[in-house]
Structure 1
Amino acid sequence: MSHSKPGLSLKKQFSRSKQIVGMTTTMAGGLRAAQRIGAFKNPPREKLPRYIQAFCRKMVGSFGIKVVEVEPVQQYHGLWVSNHVSWMDIPVVGTVSPAFFLSKAEIGEWPIFGKLAYAAGTVFIQRGSGDAGSVAAQIAEFLRQGFSVIFFPEATTTDGSKIKRIHGKLLQAAIDADVPVRAMVIAYVNKDGSLSQELPYYGKLTMKQSLKKVLDTKNVTAYVLPLEAIDPQGRSKSELTDLLQQHMQEGLAELHARVLS
């Protein structure tokens, strides 16, 4: 009886180590692939989505999480948005969407992660000149070039049970570039059909605590439901924001009805 606790601890340590090795191997493979296709010098954006999707799929898999598209996610151009539950959302949406991520410019200077982000064609946003208006203009220019972008309009993470009030300033980019807003919703679900309490990264949880919780969690599936595209034509930014809010709330309720027990 007294030996069961250390045994469990050893099992946990082994499991965590195995996942960290898998994550490290995936990152090393990503760096090699980026080198092979010349992504460090000039990311070939036309080719990149399939490489990003393969990398993200392996990254999610290294944590033992399975990604399931409840309906097929069509690989169309647009301004993509998703609800935000966890740092795991990034590889999950990267697995299913053809869009490029947004990042603060300073992330590009980080060792390893910065290199990978640059090689993945991340849209680095210059915030020095000011506000969300200038960020929306940068995104719109990127969209006009035919490349999709994804961001999290709640601007913060949640426990996964609801959609918080979304911030619509960046939706101006879809209006200016005249591209559809393509939303998706994510739910992390345990084997018993309940909503995962371990995957959400929000509140006072630190990144280290969250990482440990995720590493120790087993049999979680990330379900993704793509929603009908919204045409921004003839809509103001506030109208588009209200419509997207309703769209995502209804979409998350539908997803929960379909995948939770």
Structure 2
Amino acid sequence: MGQSKSKFSLRKQLGRGKQIAGMTTTIAGGLRTAQRIGAFREPPRETLPRYIQVFCRKMASSFGVKIVQVEPVPQHHGLWVSNHVSWMDIPVVGSVSPAFFLSKAEIGEWPVFGKLAQAAGTVFIERGSGDVGSVATQMASFLSKGYSVIFFPEATTTDGTKVKRIHGTLLQAAIDSDVPVQPIVIAYVDKDGALSKELPYYGKLTMKDSIKKVLDSRQVTAYVLPLEPLDPNGHNKSQLTNLLQQRMNEGLKELHARVLTDANNTAASVL
């Protein structure tokens, strides 16, 4: 019994080591590409999204997560939003959308990851004490230049079963810059066709423990479904928030119906 447990522990450690090696290789490759295309000097925003998508797809793969677009994700300009389940959402969303991420300005000072974030054209937000309106203004300015932005309007992570109440303050940026709001929804599905219990990062789970759970997970697929975009014209922030909440609630239910295994153990078809 003890020998069997020891072998299982060794396999787990070897599996983690292989994935960490893959992640390290991906990061090193990303840094080399950023240097080659001059992204450390000035991110080439017109061409950068395709490099970001490749990097994010490799990063997710290094953790053993396969990404599947249930419907082709459009690559148009807009304010992108997604439900929020895990830190894995960042490489998943980054692999399918043409949008740049938002980040607190201080993250740009972090070693390695701060450099990568800068090279990836991350929109660094200078935040005052709770001045969300200022963030929306900065986003609107960026959107008006023709560059897309993505954020997670729930402002927290969930277990993946539903969309929590969304916070629509930053949707003002779409109204001010007159760009569509493009929602997408994500579901992490295990090899048995059920929602993964390893991928969600929420509640009292620590980042360290979450990373271990993801490293030890097997055959997880991240399904992404783009939803019908919302035109901000004629809507105020409150109305746009309510419309987005409804669309994301319905969209996540549809995604689950299409990719999860039903009660009769028959997998729903992915078109």
Q: TM-score interval w.r.t. the shorter chain?
A: over 0.9
Q: CA deviation at 1:47?
A: 1.0
> Is residue 174 of structure 2 the alignment partner of residue 179 of structure 1?
no
Q: Could you say what secondary structure the match of 1:146 adopts?
A: coil
Amino acid paired to 2:36: R
Amino acid paired to 2:177: A
TM-score, length basis structure 1: 0.99
Runs of 5+ unmatched residues, structure 1: none
Amino acid paired to 2:58: K
Q: Could you say what secondary structure the match of 2:2 adopts?
A: coil
Q: Could you say what secondary structure the match of 1:3 adopts?
A: helix
Amino acid paired to 2:89: D
Q: Aligned equivalents of 1:104 and 1:137: distance in 2?
A: 15
Q: CA deviation at 1:129?
A: 6.6
Amino acid paired to 2:217: T
* Structure 1 residue ranges (4+ consecutive) displaced by more than 4 angstroms after TM superposition: none
Q: Aligned equivalents of 1:196 and 1:21: distance in 2?
A: 24
Amino acid paired to 2:192: D
Amino acid paired to 1:189: V
Q: Aligned equivalents of 2:153 and 2:203: distance in 1?
A: 18
State the identity %.
Answer: 77
The superposition leaves residues 199-255 of structure 1 with CA deviations (integer Å, 9 ceiling, x where unpaired) of 000000000000000000001000000000000001000000000000000000000
The superposition leaves residues 64-95 of structure 1 with CA deviations (integer Å, 9 ceiling, x where unpaired) of 11000000001010000000000000000000
Q: CA deviation at 1:130?
A: 5.0
**Residue number in structure 2 paired with 1:232:** 232
**Residue number in structure 1 paired with 2:190:** 190
Q: Aligned equivalents of 2:129 and 2:143: distance in 1?
A: 20
Q: Aligned equivalents of 2:88 and 2:67: distance in 1?
A: 11
**Residue number in structure 2 paired with 1:168:** 168
**Residue number in structure 2 paired with 1:109:** 109
**Residue number in structure 2 paired with 1:2:** 2
Q: CA deviation at 1:128?
A: 2.6
Q: Aligned equivalents of 1:137 and 1:123: distance in 2?
A: 12
Q: Aligned equivalents of 1:199 and 1:247: distance in 2?
A: 24
**Residue number in structure 1 paired with 2:266:** none
**Residue number in structure 2 paired with 1:31:** 31
Q: Aligned equivalents of 1:256 and 1:119: distance in 2?
A: 35
The alignment of Structure 1 onto Structure 2 pairs a total of residues equal to 261
**Residue number in structure 1 paired with 2:133:** 133
Q: Aligned equivalents of 1:33 and 1:47: distance in 2?
A: 13
Q: Aligned equivalents of 2:80 and 2:96: distance in 1?
A: 11
Q: Aligned equivalents of 2:232 and 2:2: distance in 1?
A: 63
Q: Aligned equivalents of 2:130 and 2:12: distance in 1?
A: 46
> Is residue 220 of structure 2 the alignment partner of residue 220 of structure 1?
yes
> Is residue 4 of structure 2 the alignment partner of residue 17 of structure 1?
no
Q: Aligned equivalents of 2:2 and 2:201: distance in 1?
A: 33
Q: Aligned equivalents of 2:120 and 2:10: distance in 1?
A: 36
Runs of 5+ unmatched residues, structure 2: 262-271
Amino acid paired to 2:90: I
Q: Aligned equivalents of 2:216 and 2:10: distance in 1?
A: 12
